[in-house]
Structure 1
Amino acid sequence: MDLKNDSAAKDAFQNMELEEFWTLVRGTYPLLATNALRILVQFSSTYLCETGFSALVHLKTKARSKLEVEADLRCALSITPPDIEGLMKGKQCQKSH
């Protein structure tokens, strides 16, 4: 196989995520890359499902047994970091009477 002797591909494989690597070499090795990506997609969706289930189990403790967890689950699974400073700047202090 040509891929076995391709030193640039070996370097890319060691320095990239699997999905990125196979997307990169898709033009050079289309059949191999397509098959590899098809297999990787199955593991990706399983991983995301397990991550979501673990987050749900963590949220649904006896102390927090509310029925609607969509918003909490969305926050738990989000990869976007919260902008606490920005949120706090938009709020106004509530003074007691």
Structure 2
Amino acid sequence: MVEVKVEQSKGTSAIGIDLGCKEAATDSDGGRVVGRQYRKLESKLGIAQRARNKHRVKAIHAKIKNRRSDDLHKHSHHLVDSNAAIFVGNVNYLGMAKD
């Protein structure tokens, strides 16, 4: 077993996060997480899919996943470090899809 010191956040403000369709998340300070990481690799992915190169397609999908994960981790780490309270809006995705 390992003991780890847990440090409290030094932030004093509060922030709200709104989940959306065009952007993955937007916070009340105007910061955004864009959820369209695949656009930068879209052409390479299409070429690999048409060539039926399964290994390259799998590698490109992994790269997209890693980029998305990295962006989310960086944004969430920044929010936790700079805020004492974080509130996430209640989103009804079925209601948004019907409109």
Measured against the shorter chain, the TM-score band is 0.3 to 0.5
More strand by share: 2
Instruction: Choose between structure 1 and 2 for higher RCO, CA contacts under 8 A separated by at least 6 residues.
Output: 2
More helix by share: 1
Q: TM-score, normalised by structure 2?
A: 0.39
Q: TM-score, normalised by structure 1?
A: 0.40
